[in-house]
């Protein structure tokens, strides 16, 4: 199983990037990025076209590849 983990954006934009982490190793995202402890409150993800949140595409690709 996987869960989503928001990484606070460090480039100046307001939007966090959502990475995917494995339940087995929640410190490392599927794209190989080390994420901070979940200090950011995870809110439910909704399909909002106006949302500025972004999803990490390497993570998404990894999920789709693994979850055949």
- Interface positions with Zn ion (CB under 5 A): 19, 29, 31, 56, 59
**Shortest Cβ distance from residue 63 to Zn ion (Å)?**
10
The DSSP H or E segment spanning 25 is strand 25-29
CB-nearer residue toward Zn ion: 6 or 59: 59
CA distance 47 to 24: 27
**Shortest Cβ distance from residue 21 to Zn ion (Å)?**
9
CA distance 17 to 25: 19
**Shortest Cβ distance from residue 27 to Zn ion (Å)?**
13
């Amino acid at each position: 199983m996987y869960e989503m983990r928001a990484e606070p954006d460090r480039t100046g934009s307001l939007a966090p990037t959502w990475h995917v982490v494995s339940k087995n190793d929640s410190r490392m995202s599927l794209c190989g990025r080390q994420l901070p402890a979940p200090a950011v409150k995870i809110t439910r993800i909704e399909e909002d076209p106006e949302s500025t949140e972004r999803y990490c595409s390497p993570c998404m690709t990894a999920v789709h590849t693994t979850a055949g």
